[in-house]
Amino acid sequence: MIIAKIHGGIGNQMFQYAAARRLAHYNNTELKLDIFHYETKVLPGGLPYRTFDLSVFNIQPVYASQKEVDLFKNTAAAPVAKLLNKLQNKIRPHTMIYEPHYHFYPDLLTKKGNYYLDGYWQSEKYFSDIKDILQKEFIITTTLNDEGKALLERIKNENSVCLNIRRQDDGNRYTSDYFEKYITDAMDLIASKVNNAHFFIVSDDLNWVRENVKFRYPHTIIEKHLYGDKFRDCLHMLINCKHFIIPNSSFGWWAAWLNTNPDKIVVAPDKWVLDPKISTQDLIPTSWIRL
């Protein structure tokens, strides 16, 4: 059995699922999801409350029970249950794996046995060899209305560029000046490589985008009412773009990674986090452009 702790927003959840899905595939065993985190309604540090979002995809999630989680963590309340867990772990170990650092941890690829994964696992190196499986499981059943369907057709038929602008501040984002320069430089770069590029823009702060971003190229802002429940329609539209400019956002990362255009150009920020002690060397695929 492999259990993945699922937490954070939809992009982080996809990374956690993907790494655990690959390990379960390698072990030819079942994958279960620990979603008890979402029972906490108030999060520390002013972080926004999230919800479990993987239900928007073509997966059939199996949820871990508290008893199964306790088996790995040995946190059962009753003394008898604790003793039974210890005995069972002596016979067949159930091991916790905490992500040791932000960059790629290769040992995860060859673990054999029963494991509980607790981390973010933000590198395609954890799951690139099951990309075909993930592309089938991360298919979205959309709820697009007529306006959204018409927009999706434009995205499919034009030289569409996804421009994902993230403004939410969790204490580890870039300054506005840095971000504005990154957006401008990235659009110039894409426009120099793609004929008749048309930028399709999504953001968590469309007012800021309208007031601060100077667009010199054809563009369309995708309005919030088209994003859909749990951003499912937004992600579906972005995945269908031909090229990508993403911020330091796992949501944008997945839109670019799941896209199947063999000639896609993906631009990502070189500075993913502000903390210089955190290595993001394995986060961005080598074929993407860091700017």
pLDDT band for position 101 (cuts 50, 70, 90): very high
pLDDT above 70: residue 79: no
81/59: higher pLDDT: 59
pLDDT at 81: 45
Provide the 10 A C-beta neighbour count for residue 80.
Answer: 8
Q: What is the pLDDT of residues 103-133, one digit of tens each?
A: 999 999 999 999 999 999 999 999 999 999 9
264/76: higher pLDDT: 264
Beta bridge partners of 109: none
pLDDT above 50: residue 170: no
272/131: higher pLDDT: 131
pLDDT band for position 175 (cuts 50, 70, 90): low
Q: What mean pLDDT comes out for the span 155-160?
A: 98
pLDDT at 109: 97
Of the candidate ranges 92-96, 123-127, 233-237, 269-273, the one whose mean pLDDT is the lowest:
92-96
pLDDT above 70: residue 171: no
**pTM for this prediction:** 0.90
pLDDT above 60: residue 37: yes
Q: What mean pLDDT comes out for the span 182-204?
A: 95
Q: What is the pLDDT of residues 203-223, one digit of tens each?
A: 988 998 898 888 999 999 999
Mean pLDDT, rounded, of the chain: 88
Report the C-alpha gap between 117 and 125 in whole angstroms: 16
pLDDT above 90: residue 194: yes
pLDDT above 80: residue 46: no
